[in-house]
Structure 1
Amino acid sequence: MNRTLKRVLGLAGSAVLGLAGAVTFASAAQAHHPEITGLTECTEDGGWTVTWQVTDWAHGDDIPAGVISEIETDGEFNEGSAIVVGAELPQPGSGDYVEGSQTFGADVPSASLKITAQWIYDGKTITESRDSLVPAPGDCVPEEPQPEGYVDVYTDCFGINVWAWNESEEVLSEFTIETSDGFSETVTPAVGEDYYNYFEVTDPEAGLTVTVSVDGELYDTFEWTDNPLCHYAAVESSCVDGLTFTLTVPEDGEETTFYFYNYTTEEEFEVTVAAGGTDTVNFPAQSEEFWVYYEIYTDKDFVSGETPWYPCPPETPSESPTPKPELPKTGSSLTIMISSAAALIVAAGVIFFLMRRRRAAQDW
């Protein structure tokens, strides 16, 4: 073979090998780099957040995971961020990612993040970086605070319980409660000062409904529901004597168990009454209001509820009668009378004397 040709072929072969090595190294480097995704959303105050998700980009499962070695970004990460130096990047096939978020004001137009990671592969350390720039999500308008009013209503044997409360301190909801027997009330409870009222059924045949409106809009109308077991118990509330439950099981009924529990004193009773029998349970009056939870049950049915007790209202002391004003007294009244009489006698004598002298003068 021609020496010149051999030399040319040799140089060409070296070039090909060198190019192949360069391509192989470049492919290994390009096979390892972080992948960054930024997801943005507005915040209630008009600012915005970006949630960064970082994962590995690699060719196969046999390639080791990369480790974050450097982070460059515009702002601070929020507490709990997993994007930190030393964090391992999940393999792309796993579907996992390393996540962290940042919060910016409305005056920040964009956010950027640059991640540098390292891989140790075939005895070599490969370092690759990727960066991402995300714009703000647009005009983020501060959200107006909204009321958070809630209502809970339930019925029991003797009435309807209404519980209403607010959870937003910025905007309080207004609750209007109306009953079918003429009661009406509008309240705006502060946060932590819940409204609670118990509406007793005074006429079981007429029944009772409670209508609740929130901020002028109808929330719901609740109807008292009767239960045959409810007729087995009657309650009498006296601010002097307390709560007295009279338990009566009709002749055609069956053995019934009554359970009572005072939340305040933790006093409890359990009474079983046979068909045709009767019994009473009393909770004495206390210095403060209390509630009694009760259960009435047989082998076939069950009903429960709560009954309140309230102390007597404080008496308003009656006003004392205003004493009549008296003139100051100086000496006894008898002395005054004698002195007055004497003065009148002297005056009469003077007048009589003058009249006689006048007549005498006329005679002359």
Structure 2
Amino acid sequence: MNRTLKRVLGLSGSVVLGLAGAVTFASAAQAHHSDYWGTSVCNEDGTWTVTWEATDGTWPGKEDDLTATVKSWTVEGDVSGPLFVEGAALPANGSTDTLKGTQVVSGDVETVSLVLTSKWSNTVEDTGAPYIVSQPEGGCDTPEEPEPGFVLDSDIDCVGIWVWADNTNPEALAEFTFVSSDGEEESYTPEVGEGFGWYFLLEEPESGLSVDVLVDGELVDTVEWYDQELCSYIEVEADCEGLIFTLSVPADGEATTFTLWTSYSDEPEEIVVQPGGSEVREFKAVEDVLWVDYRIKTAKDGTEGGVEWIPCDEETPSPSGTPSAQPQLPTTGSSMTIMIGSAAALIVAAAAIFLIMRRRRAAQDW
């Protein structure tokens, strides 16, 4: 064999050995890998959480004492947990333990991915392929805010307006505000079943009266007072002993039934007054407590209301020694004969809610 051929064969052999060594080294390096994956669950607020887990890998010919640690990672967003700590040891593949980390993801993000780089005890470093995790099937919807549920009620009698509201959804309690046309305002947020009611006294019949009902600051209803002809059939006076009811029917009216029910009555009293007639009923207070509900009813019409008596101020008698003028209820409408005095107006205003609640109960009993 000539010298030239020997040199060529020698060079070719060196190349082959070099390539074989390179392939052998590359195969050993590429065999190193860690295993990692993720699972996702929805959160109540519409976000979702990925739980990332990792172990070291396994492959044919892996040395028994070969271990791996976390070198670095690439992931979108904020992460936490031991998996995302450089130098953290990766548990052995196939064991019951895994190295874990978590990531909370916004509801408008559909997928996230993790790329993990591990470092082995033989100094080999390996970067794996991206592991992609998506939102749970169906997505994670942001829960709707609970809406308030409520009920409203109102009633109109001869001397004012009664309004009432209650919440029905314990998860979203509404604030109720009642505002009268003469500037009185009351607000409250009742618990479910507690209820909130208020009575607004009619000060000037000629000016009228209305009450706006607001729920969480938004107007939902307006209750308007209106005059009722039958209100002129009853006149109430208060003195230091009790209440005096005068029941009258105009000559051009029709037979009218008056029903009176007091805080002392087991049964209501019914009085029928014919056209042009009049009846008087006096109710004496006992232990400083007295209230009287009334109903006025004709064949075609009807109305009802209530009055509470308030004791006189015995510490401030009239200087002249003569009885003070009797306080009276306000007149409602041009045809009404209910006499008004400031003392009775305060009486009605102070006990309005109590009266109306009892009046409604009495009406149900009738």
TM over 0.5: no
TM class by shorter chain equals: 0.3 to 0.5
Give TM-score scaled by structure 2 length. Answer: 0.42
Give TM-score scaled by structure 1 length. Answer: 0.43
